[in-house]
Amino acid sequence: MLIEIARIITAAAISWALFVAVDLVFRLPERGGVSGARAIAAAVAEKGGSLHGGSMMGNIVCSPDASAGTLLAACGVAIAGIPGGLAAAALVFIGNRICHDPGYAGTCGAVLATGVITAASYAGLAPEDFIAGMVLAILSIQGLSHIHASRLLEKLWGWRA
């Protein structure tokens, strides 16, 4: 039981680092890229959070970005291995186009996650660990504290710049 919890926590840390890194590379904290992201960023900033971190959080909510891509890739790999992960990436790409998302963070995140999850399976982490871990990673950004999460994302954005 404890080893399963450790695997999930490890997968959560890997997933968190992966999706946050992809979102930073695609400059999602800079400004809201899709409809609704700016409104969420403004609401987070109004409550004392960071506007830039709120922009990234808004993108996570409003469009299939790297967090959704990572979660869907984990589901795809669990169901059908590498082809399942790549099929998830294709679905994320379609979702990006439906949302009029100008970037490819979700698609890139899904493709990278497919590779990471496949490689991690050789180290003893199952795709199912990444499904649970990714839910925890998204919860840490979206569900615990918008103010603190947005400030952390802004610090990470500052290190990137």
Kindly report, residue by residue over 100-126, the tens digit of the pLDDT: 776 688 899 899 999 999 999 999 999
Using only C-alpha atoms, the chain has a radius of gyration, in whole angstroms, of 15
What's the rounded mean pLDDT across residues 93-99?
85
- Closest of 62, 60, 66, 80 to residue 14, by C-alpha: 66
Task: State the average pLDDT over residues 77-87.
Answer: 96
Report pLDDT digits (tens) over 12-60. 999 999 988 888 888 766 666 666 778 888 899 999 988 888 888 887 7
Tokens of 60: 């996570």
Check if the beta carbon of residue 16 is closer than 8 Å to that of residue 140: yes
The residue that leads in pLDDT, 142 or 87, is: 87
Residue 83 has a pLDDT of 97
Residue-level pLDDT at 146 = 81
pLDDT at res. 32: 62
Predicted confidence at residue 77, as pLDDT, reads 96
Does the structure show a pLDDT above 80 at 61? Answer: no
Q: Which residue has the higher pLDDT, 63 or 27?
A: 27
- Which comes out higher in pLDDT, residue 30 or 140? 140
pLDDT reading at 161 higher than 80: no
d(CA 149, CA 155): 10
